[in-house]
């Protein structure tokens, strides 16, 4: 059973994820991405899908043309966990 981060742990984790915002209502983290076009956006989504399947930890996400919005939370933990932080770091590594 994975546990949700404490507030102190969350604050520290978010300091290392400056491009992600905390969604208090969901206890989730979100990041919005913009690409040149749909092809680039979906290529990114495919890479995220491979990361997600490998980690068995899947995003809530949406896409409109060149934009991709990602929300990460851990349903089993009832909020943000280390798994979300790890996934956010892996996603950041694809684009930064």
Q: Which residues bind a second copy (CB under 8 A)?
A: 38-39, 42, 45-46, 49, 52-53, 58-65
Nearer to a second copy, 9 or 63 (CB): 63
CB of 53 to a second copy, least distance (A): 6
Rounded distance between C-alpha atoms, residue 85 and residue 20, angstroms: 10
Nearer to a second copy, 9 or 58 (CB): 58
HSE of 72, CA atoms in CB hemisphere, 13 A? 28
CB of 58 to a second copy, least distance (A): 5
Rounded distance between C-alpha atoms, residue 78 and residue 4, angstroms: 7
Residue with tokens 């996934």: 87
CB of 90 to a second copy, least distance (A): 16
Burial of 54 from C-beta contacts in 10 A (0-12 / 13-18 / 19+): exposed
Nearer to a second copy, 12 or 60 (CB): 60
CB of 26 to a second copy, least distance (A): 12
């Amino acid at each position: 059973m994975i546990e949700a981060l404490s507030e102190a742990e969350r604050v520290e984790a978010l300091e290392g994820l400056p491009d992600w915002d905390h969604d208090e209502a969901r206890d989730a983290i979100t990041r919005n991405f913009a690409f040149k076009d749909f092809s680039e956006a979906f290529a990114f989504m495919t890479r995220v899908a491979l990361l997600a399947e490998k980690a068995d930890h899947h995003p809530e996400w949406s896409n409109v043309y060149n934009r991709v919005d990602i929300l990460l939370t851990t349903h089993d933990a009832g909020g943000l966990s280390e798994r979300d932080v790890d996934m956010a770091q892996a996603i950041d590594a694809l684009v930064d």
